[in-house]
Amino acid sequence: MAKNEQSKKRKRQKKNRKPTHQNEAKRKGLDITSGKGVVDHDPSSAKRRKLQEPSKASSFLDKMRERLSGGHFRMINEKLYTCSGEEALNYFQEDPSLFELYHAGYKMQMSQWPEQPVNVIINWLKKQSPSLVVADFGCGDALIAKSMKNKVFSLDLVSKDPEVIACDMANAPLSTSSVDVSVFCLSLMGTNYSSYLEEAYRVLKPGGWLLIAEVKSRFDPNTGGAEPENFSAAICELGFQSVKQDFSNKVFILFYFKKKDKQNSRRKEIEWPLLKPCLYKRR
C-alpha cells in the first residue's frame, strides 16, 4: 500500500515539474543544436546580427552613387562628342578628375560588350613584326602598349601614367613619317575628328597602317549615321588605300587602311561625313 502511494506521488511530481529550456524546445520540435527556431534574448547577439546584415540604407546609397556616376559619365561623353579636341583638352586640364570619372564609366559600358575592339586590334598587331612602331591615338588605359613588345606611343588628353603622352590628338608630338601603325580605337570623338586623321597620316611612314574601330551605330545611315563608304572614300582622298572593312561584330566596325607611297599633290578639298555621336540614354 505504501509503495502504491509513493508511486502516485512521484507521478504527480513529474507531471507538475516545470519543463526545462531543452525539453520545451524538443516538445515544440525545435532544433536547439542548429539554432533554428530558438529565440535568442541576448541583446548583444541581436546587435551582432544587425551589423552583419546588409543595411538597406547603404544599399540605396550605393545605387544612388552608381546612378550619379553614370549621369556624370553620360554628361562628359556627350561633351567629348560635341566639342573640338582643343576644347576637350582644356576641359580636362581644368579638372583632371573628370577624366578619371569618364574612364570609370567607359569601362563599365565596355564590360557589357561581348567582345572588346582593342583586343581585336592587339591580336592583329601581334601577328605583325615586333619592330613596328605604333601610335595609339586616344589610348585610355594604354592597354595596347601594355600588351605589346612593340614600341608604342600612347596619346590621350590627360596622363597620370609617365608612359602616356597628354596632348590634343590634332597636334601629336611625334615626328613626320616616324610610325608604322596609327590606331584609333573608339577615339574619333570631337567635331574636328578629321584633323586627328590628318595627323595620323602625317606621322605614318609610306606604306604604314591606319586601323580604326568605331561603334556601328555611328555608321548607320538609317539612324543618322554616316555611310561607311563615304567615310572610307574621304580617308582614301587623304592619301590612304582601303584594305579591309570588318562588319562581323554586332557592336563595332573595323577599318584597315594603308598609306600610299606617293602623295597626290593635287588633292582636292575633302568632304568629311558627319559621324553620329555615340550618346548613351539617360536611365
Q: What is the CATH number of the domain that holds 147?
A: 3.40.50.150
CA–CA distance, 173 with 166 (Å, rounded to integer): 9
Q: Is residue 132 part of a domain?
A: yes
Q: Is residue 44 part of a domain?
A: no
Q: Is residue 131 part of a domain?
A: yes
Could you list the residue range(s) of the whole structural domain that residue 243 is in? 115-259
Q: Is residue 91 part of a domain?
A: no
Q: Is residue 165 part of a domain?
A: yes
Cell of 182: 596609327
Distance (Å) of CA 112 to CA 89, 146, 153, 230: 28, 22, 28, 30
Q: Is residue 30 part of a domain?
A: no
For 159-212, how does the pLDDT look when each residue is reduced to its tens digit (9 = 90+)?
Answer: 888 999 999 999 999 999 999 999 999 999 989 999 999 999 999 999 999 999
Beta bridge partners of 246: 254
CA atoms within 13 A on the CB side of 165: 15
The pLDDT of residue 230: 96
Q: Is residue 193 part of a domain?
A: yes
Number of structural domains the chain divides into? 1
The pLDDT of residue 39: 45
Model pTM score: 0.72
Residues of the chain with pLDDT under 70: 1-71, 264-267, 280-283
Rounded to the nearest 5°, which phi and psi values hold at 63?
-65, -40
Report, in angstroms and rounded to the nearest whole number, the Rg of the chain calculated over CA atoms. Answer: 33
Paired sense of beta strands 204-215 and 252-259, if any: antiparallel
The pLDDT of residue 78: 83
CA neighbor of 192 nearest in space, from 212, 170, 211 = 170
HEC readout, 119-134: HHHHHHHHCCCCCCCE
